[in-house]
Chain A
């Protein structure tokens, strides 16, 4: 009797404590009027106005989309590229939780956070692009299970993977809120979430490429191949890891006081190691591109302007960063690896824009070029994502957390011993 009576006020106190804590945490920290905040804030305000117009008057009011080009920048960049560069989440959970590469444990939380936010914001962008967004839950609730649709597969796997990424990140949130028992329960779910998450991510990354399988005859033959799902999946591996490398570089500067000791100590090792994985994946990807080119007997197209553009993509932004990654790893040059990562990211952006926009109906009389308003909204979405990322990193144990220290220390000691 006494126990139950006592528990209710205690639960009430706990809820009140949590409420006050969260309210406190919602307040901004540090200087508010920084140049970055002012610019990104302005971008977001302008985007809000543009989006109000879009939802009142239709997509045509602010986009250059047309009957010939139903997909534009918001799909080509915000969704296609955004999801590819969020691929670091599933690749790194594979390395840390499946392969037990403890060396990469210190960056797991920031990477999973990045992946989760990447998915949430890609879904958000999609809502802006959908003509009838209020029906977005239809394939989930069964107002039409279009099981023959690649997009149905993508939608489900996308949704479930975002859920898995949330589960993977949730222990950090529980630590932040001081909920130890809940943290232990959530932590127990991590491995299952990782295994399911990798499977789901693999399929929706491939599925985004699969969306173009029926665009045969619209997509330029140099980019159209029946293996496009495989290419999309493989490129998401190095795209995701390249973003992890670049984000690590930026975080070290911007969030210096939040960096944990292990993370600082392993930074160089981790960057080089990821660079090595990128090099291997990029080489594999390059050869896959070459094979599909030969297999489809498409070399004649290489001597055309679109062929030159294709070569720029696969040599300039696939082969070159592959060599740079390998070079950087061999000479233990972190700067080279970081430069390669930037190039690889540009390459994936170029590839996704090529497939979704530039090489789509290349012979159209009037080709789609995004309006300044589409570009503005895209920049605002990136700004908003950075705001949320910064808010989380400044409050939750993301760049520094307790559980990794002993294991990583061991791993560092062992690799150090091996190097010596």
Chain B
């Protein structure tokens, strides 16, 4: 028989577990590839390496402290940094020199956003993955989680920010194009609804099958990205990681997070049962020992 005290204890423990459990059970709903979500198509066969995208990016985001380095000779591959949200690199490939722009790919289901415990990093419905200063605690878990290593941290600041391409979300709200796309003189960059950009990418492959590798990078990579790439050579030759798989990264933590409420319900239950069982055993033994002592 459970007495009132025991019952109360059980209820308290179960109630506590339920409260905690509620906070943690749900996975953030994925922002699906909605028709209106925007995207950018990068046709690397058209890129001439003029770095106008780098220049206009630094110009459009002066407030974020971005800089434009003048002296770049393309000898070493450059990564984006806390001062440069996008960089153009030159690659020696099977089909000669190819220029490719690099920036945050704005995943459809971003690892960084699902890693963020304050939702400072978040996917906006329009497509950009943006960052909110007053929420971020600077834990850098987004950096650990991003398969493309795009979020960068200001190690030289007492009030550091997470820096990466934000797909000019403020300009998009004003109905403008991203700064880099607007400034691209060669037509390598084109902006529009992601679904349309994807169709355009396929059209170009069908129209000139010998010119392109028959794959649109970003259609499925890491669950799909807002930025799509076309190239004349395999994508690993132009610095894009081809080992990220097609599964959205947040799916890697799904089983673990789903198991949490189960653990929170089952473990206290087992603990209470174990405690009750061993307590009776112990009391019985104690009584026996006392009886022995009296004899």
Contacts and interface: CB of A to CB of B under 8 A. Distances in A.
B274 interface: yes
Given A58-B160, A149-B117, A414 B260 contact: no
Given A58-B156, A59-B155, A149-B141, A143 B263 contact: no
B156 to A, nearest CB: 5
A214 interface: yes
Q: Which 10 A-B pairs have the closest CB atoms?
A: A131-B138, A60-B155, A148-B28, A144-B118, A70-B140, A144-B119, A132-B138, A152-B117, A214-B145, A70-B143
B275 interface: yes
B208 interface: no
B263 A199 contact: yes
Given A153-B257, A195-B13, A135 B143 contact: no
Contact of B275 (A100, A135, A213, A413): A100
Given A58-B156, A70-B143, A210-B253, A196 B137 contact: no
21 contacts: A58-B154, A67-B82, A70-B153, A100-B275, A131-B153, A133-B137, A135-B118, A135-B136, A138-B118, A147-B25, A149-B141, A150-B253, A151-B139, A156-B24, A195-B275, A199-B271, A202-B267, A203-B260, A206-B256, A213-B256, A216-B249
B135 A144 contact: yes
A68 B114 CA distance: 20
B27 A148 contact: yes
Interface string A136-149: 10110001111111
Given A100-B275, A213-B252, A414 B116 contact: no
Interface string A329-352: 000000000000000000000000
A121 B160 CA distance: 23
Interface string B140-179: 1101110101001111111110000000000000000000
A56 B27 CA distance: 38
Contacts of A97: 275
Contacts of A144: 116-120, 132, 135
A147 B16 CA distance: 18
Contact of B153 (A67, A147, A410): A67
Interface of A: 55-61, 63, 65-68, 70-71, 94, 97-100, 102, 129-133, 135-136, 138-139, 143-153, 155-157, 160, 191-192, 195-196, 198-200, 202-203, 206-207, 210-218, 226, 229, 410, 413-414
Contacts of A206: 256
B117 A155 contact: yes
Contact of B160 (A63, A132, A148): A132
B26 interface: yes
Given A132-B136, A139-B118, A153-B260, A98 B28 contact: no
B253 A410 contact: no
Max count, chain B CB within 10 A of own CB: residue among A135, A146, A211, A217: A146
Nearest to A64: B155
Given A147-B27, A156-B24, 5 more contacts: A67-B153, A136-B137, A144-B118, A207-B256, A214-B145
A99 B117 contact: no
B278 interface: yes
Contacts of B47: none
A413 B240 CA distance: 70
Nearest to A134: B137
A160 B28 contact: no
Given A139-B117, A148-B28, A217-B244, A55 B278 contact: no
Max count, chain B CB within 10 A of own CB: residue among A55, A63, A67, A218: A67
A148 B251 CA distance: 10
B32 to A, nearest CB: 15
B23 A195 contact: no
B134 A143 contact: yes
A196 B268 CA distance: 7
A67 B278 CA distance: 53
Contacts of B271: 94, 98, 195, 198-199
B285 interface: yes
Given A60-B155, A70-B140, A149 B285 contact: no
A145 B119 contact: yes
B140 A203 contact: no
Contacts of A191: 9, 275
Given A146-B118, A215-B145, A66 B158 contact: no
B245 to A, nearest CB: 8
B160 A195 contact: no
A151 B116 CA distance: 8
Contacts of B264: 199, 203
Contacts of B27: 147-148
A153 B24 contact: yes
A99 B274 contact: yes
A148 B13 CA distance: 24
A233 to B, nearest CB: 10
Contacts of A195: 13, 268, 271-272, 275
B135 to A, nearest CB: 4
Contacts of B213: none
A64 B135 CA distance: 25
Contact of B255 (A100, A207, A226): A226
Nearest to A68: B149
B289 interface: yes
B244 A148 contact: no
B13 A213 contact: no
A156 B153 CA distance: 25
A68 B80 CA distance: 11
